[in-house]
Chain A
Amino acid sequence: MSETWLRLREGGVEVRPDGIAARAQIPADSPFFSGHFPDNPVVPGIALLALVKLALAAAAEVTPAAGGREVVGFKRVKFRRIQTCGGEFAVRVELREGAQEEALRFSVSIGGELLCDGLMLAPIGGGLT
């Protein structure tokens, strides 16, 4: 399938001492906008959360701190403003080397404006029951 719902920018994932910084894109022609909503396109909340998951997965390839985690949910997520079109998004996930906590703080911004933040539940080893 050639369509692109969303993607990380090539080379756009950086692992820092305090966490992951990623640049990601939701193209203007993403199927997310095909019906969400007709004549009033809004970036769905799950699209922003998917960018966060994508950043963690990409970081797992370069840092052990992100590896071995399975995303099992989110909590205390706030959507701060409505984003009406695609573009390039900045994703941050707080994750220190050797961190054992299940809940990882994250944020997604565009053009310096905070779109959403909260906690991603990603226990080491998955924790799915």
Chain B
Amino acid sequence: MTAEQTDWTVEGLIPHRGRMKLLDTIVEVNADRCVTRATVSERWPLCSEGAVDALVLIEVVAQTVSAAASWDRRHSEAMGGAGYLVGIKRARWSRPSVPVGTELITTVVNEVRRTNYGVFVGRVAAAGELLAEITLQAVKP
């Protein structure tokens, strides 16, 4: 692990904590994309009968976007830091719920990058299966 990689902890890149911190690991982050890993837990929101509502995948993508934006702030003057989700251009999932214990790999690509606005395309997969495609818009106040 390089010295720079030690900064790539989840807690170092996103403000979410406690039961609303859904990400486990930052797998990769650079100017173009961010990849994260998360394991579905019964402590997550909207969990019932051993599975979470697929709606939660939007939050997983949003937290990956937050990590990407924070990394970007450290490396440029582009959007970063405490941003807010302002829109969902499109979100679609392939199954209604995701079982507890499922390992999610989320990849977010920064499609539009401006000083205080960004559009991010996220894909959530598990064991090679695409579970959701979600495009988010975020701003930095």
Binding site for B on A (CB under 8 A): 5, 31-32, 34-38, 40, 42, 44-47, 49-50, 53, 70-79, 82, 118, 121, 128-129
Contact = CB atoms under 8 A, between A and B. Distances in A.
Contact of A75 (B21, B85, B88, B96): B88
B76 to A, nearest CB: 24
Interface of B: 15-21, 45-46, 53, 55-56, 58-59, 62, 84-96, 132
Contacts of A38: 15, 17-18
A82 B88 CA distance: 15
Contacts of B18: 31, 34-35, 38
Interface of chain A, main secondary structure: mixed
A35 B24 CA distance: 15
Given A35-B16, A79-B86, A50 B92 contact: no
Contacts of A70: 96
B85 A72 contact: no
Nearest to A76: B89
A37 B55 contact: no
